[in-house]
Structure 1
Amino acid sequence: MKIAIAGTGDLARYFYTSLPHHGHTAIALTRSPKSFLDELSIEQRVTDYTVSSLTSHLSDCDAVISTISAQGQDHITAHLALLSACRLSPRCKRFIPSEWTGNIEKYPELEPRYMHETREPIRRAFREQDEVMWTSVLVGWFAEYLLPVGQEGRYFGALTVGWPVDFEKRVFVLYGEGETRVTLTSAWDVVKAVVGLLENGEKKKWEEYTHIEGETVSWRDLLAVLRKRGRGGEWTVVRRGYEDAVRQVEEAKESGEFGKEVETQLQLLGYTSFNCVDAEKAKRQMEVYFPGVRVRGITVVDHLTIIPT
């Protein structure tokens, strides 16, 4: 298949690197040429994300995967244009929008405000049409966040308040008593599962939500995994109560800095079950939509640098 990837950020790199290993061609939809795509020999199609531009670029593609994470109306506009282009295309009728999030199916009320405001209008547009097949892929957190920034296999940048693990300072923030559970799924394995979805897309109609589970653990369990590695010295544990997290969210709102608001809202999710996918549904969907795909747990996180086959 020829698969268009919308976006060139951290998550997109996993798709660009992996798709050729799965026998498919990746096409980059980008606002400007990127040198790393030249190094990977990926065809780049420069677009301004208007319907006319995207319609031309998707004319020979079999599917489109969005990894776009823009702010505000820009995120909505780009996705609606992609959907319109797919509807006009005689060939590109499978679309995976940019979600890659927690369990919005079971806990829609817990979705961070900045995400809901930009994603719900897109979901509504998808639900109101039946020409393009789509699904929201739910993975919890990406397991690569358990690797230090810059280590081979981790393309994701650093999160400060939004993620409890600080490798540089060897600090682990424990949310409350640390008993809340969280799902961590490797981005490499997510690519495998998405490839399976696309390969079986002509045979099996997708569900609105697709759950992919690597491993679900408590925050205390996660701390134990990091301690067991033993590299780099002991971890300092900082216990943070729910009230402290709420106060940080309020302070971020007052500051008007979007990045701080995003990270504090992500932290707030650490006290909820939002980032815990539906294990039973994940198992069933794996057997139906991407049988044979092995999604690994976090105990092998150091080996996630290898592109799985």
Structure 2
Amino acid sequence: MKIALAGAGEVGLCLATEFFKSEDEVVVLTSTVKPSFEHLNAENRLTDYSVDDLREKLDDCDAIVSTLSGPDEFYISTHSNILEACTQSRKCKHFIPSEWNINLADFPDQPMFSAATHEVVRNKLRSQNSVKWTMICHGWFMEYVLPKEKNPLREIGLAWAMNHSTKVFDMYADGLQKVTLTSTADTARAVLAVLRNSINSGAGLSPTTLLAGQTLTYQELFQLVKARDPAWKSNPVAFSEVIGDIFEGLNAKDPGVAIHQMRILGFTNANHNPRGKALEWGTGVLQGLRATTVEEFLDLAEARKGK
């Protein structure tokens, strides 16, 4: 199986690192050469993301996985062009668009700042039947339980409950909402398994593929991190406070309002992938795979300390 990975940012690098551990071939599509990928000895294919160029770059690939984000117009145009290039391709007929995170099966309107843009691309995917596709939903990446110096993903401030510099944990309302955490490595292995199963068997793909590393309430997550480090303190956050911040940001046309729109998720189960809807580890499509728990993940990070 030969996989093209579109986008060479933080998420792309995390997924690529795991992809390169598999027996599959991987090429990286990017507009500029990224030094961060040099240690992987990745095959970089420079692209302008036009349909003609993408069709050429994907000619020998079986599937494409996108981690592209960015402004609305860029997101729509690049994903539309990838879809069209796959449609015209002789071989590349599997496409995973850049969605990630949210349980889109139950909360397709979240997060507020990107849902409408992503829905444009989703409608294009739904309206065709020559390219198989699925949106990967993994909850939160588990890497966000790590402090900034250990977290390979970009800093997102208040969008996530844990402030590692102050060791303050935002507790949304009563903290009983559930959040699913899945490591980037587990997500990457699951992505390859999903694609391999479909490519090898000819099976179709569900519009959403839910993954669930470990699911906890915010209260349970707080107790887990506090047990490891008693310095952590809980900070109660009211729904009205977040709504007020969103209202103020929208009125001021502040692009930073997206951070507060992400905080809305903490009052819902939008990042919860329930059992029965999520793929089951160790069986079926995920045969031979198991998920890393938060405790195991933190232990691994601690073991790497200073290395």
Structure 1 length as normaliser, TM-score?
Answer: 0.93
What is the alpha-carbon distance in structure 2 between the residues aligned to residue 71 and residue 239 of structure 1?
Answer: 33
Unaligned runs of 5+ in 2: none
Aligned to 2:112: 113
**What residue is the counterpart of 1:236 in the other structure?**
233
1:204-249 CA-to-partner distances (Å, cap 9, x unmatched) read 221111110011111110101111112xx51122111000010111
Distance across 1 between alignment mates of 2:3 and 2:198: 13
> Aligned residue for 2:67?
67
Please give the secondary structure, in 2, of the residue aligned with 1:95.
Answer: strand
Aligned partners of 2:198 and 2:205 also within 8 Å = yes
Deviations 1:51-71 (A, max 9, x none): 011111101111100001112
**1:170 positional shift:** 1.0
Alignment of 1:1-309 (within 5 A): 1-109=1-109, 111-151=110-150, 154-202=151-199, 203=201, 204-230=203-229, 234-258=231-255, 260-284=256-280, 287-303=283-299
SS in 1 for 2:120: helix
Cα distance in structure 2, aligned partners of 1:170 and 1:243: 23
Q: Deviations over 1:29-76 (max 9, x none)?
A: 111111122222111111111101111110111110000111211101
**Partner Cα distance (2:221, 2:263) in 1:** 16
Cα distance between partner residues in 1 of 2:178 and 2:243: 19
- The one-character-per-residue Cα deviations of 1:104-151 (angstroms, maximum 9, x if unpaired) are 212334x12222121111111111111111001111111110011121
Count of aligned pairs = 301
Any idea what the Cα deviations from partners look like across 1:182-224, whole Å, max 9, x if unmatched? 1111111000100101111121221111110011111110101
How well do the aligned residues superpose, as a CA RMSD in angstroms?
A: 1.7
Q: Which amino acid aligns with 1:178?
A: G
The answer (yes or no) to whether the contact 2:20–2:40 under 8 Å persists in 1 is: no
Query: 2:101, 2:141 within 8 Å by CA — same for their partners in 1?
Result: no
- Is contact 1:140-1:185 (8 Å) kept? yes
- Classify the secondary structure of the residue corresponding to 1:200: helix
Which SS does the other structure have where 2:38 is aligned?
A: helix
The one-character-per-residue Cα deviations of 1:133-180 (angstroms, maximum 9, x if unpaired) are 1001111111110011121xx311211110110111111111111111
In structure 2, C-alpha distance between the alignment counterparts of 1:59 and 1:278, rounded to whole Å: 38
**CA shift at 1:286, angstroms?**
6.6
Give structure 1 stretches of 5+ with no counterpart. none
Q: Distance in 1 between matches of 2:216 and 2:281?
A: 21
Is contact 2:280-2:286 (8 Å) kept?
no
Contact 1:126–1:134 (8 Å) recurs in 2: yes
Q: 2:56 aligns to what SS in structure 1?
A: helix
1:86 shift after superposition: 0.6
SS of aligned partner of 2:283: helix
Instruction: Go from structure 1 to structure 2 and tell me whether the alpha carbon gap of 1:303 and 1:24 turns closer, same or farther (over 3 Å shift).
Output: farther
CA distance, structure 1, for counterparts of residue 72 and residue 206 of structure 2:
27
Q: Equivalent pairs: percent with the same residue?
A: 30
Structure 1 residue 25: deviation in Å? 2.0
- What secondary structure is seen at the aligned counterpart in 1 of 2:278? helix
Check conservation: 2:282, 2:290, Cα contact below 8 A.
no
Distance 1:132 1:146, change over 3 A: same
SS at match of 1:237: strand
Distance of 2:295 and 2:225 partners within structure 1 = 10
Give a deviation string over 1:237-280, Cα, whole Å, max 9, x none: 2111000010111122223232x122111101100111111321
Q: Distance in 2 between matches of 1:283 and 1:30?
A: 30
